[in-house]
Amino acid sequence: MIIGVGIDVCDVSRFALTLERSPGLVDRLFTDAEGQRPLRSLAARFAAKEALAKALGAPAGLVWRDAEVITDDTGRPWFQLTGTVAERAAELGVGHIHLSLSHDAGIASALVVCES
């Protein structure tokens, strides 16, 4: 059963300007491993976290770093959840999260489907 769906897009240039204006933002949004990735990958991961929050009902108090986007050996992305995000997913009965990322023409996008 589908519990929630979320989608988000992120303008990579605008995201770059935001990071320049607020350099500490990388540490608040991303894990250490995520923070080492190139800009377009960071924008896609930001979109993924936004999409996940929407799929989980966008409750207050979610910590961005509690949802880490990992890629397997084939490049397929998935979430590793901890803390506040893992608690919310468990509360809703989420058993599996599908994640798709893309970046092209200056736009990064993500789609998340949470199912029981």
Whether 23 shows a pLDDT value over 90: the answer reads no
Q: What are residue 6's phi and psi, to 5 degrees?
A: -140, 145
pLDDT tens across 30-42, in order? 999 999 999 999 9
pLDDT tens across 35-77, in order? 999 999 999 999 999 999 999 999 999 999 999 999 999 999 9
User: How many residues would you count in the chain?
Assistant: 116
Domain containing 98 equals 2-115
pTM score, whole prediction: 0.95
- What would the two tokens of residue 12 be? 């990579």
Domain of residue 65, CATH code: 3.90.470.20
Number of domains observed in the structure of the chain: 1
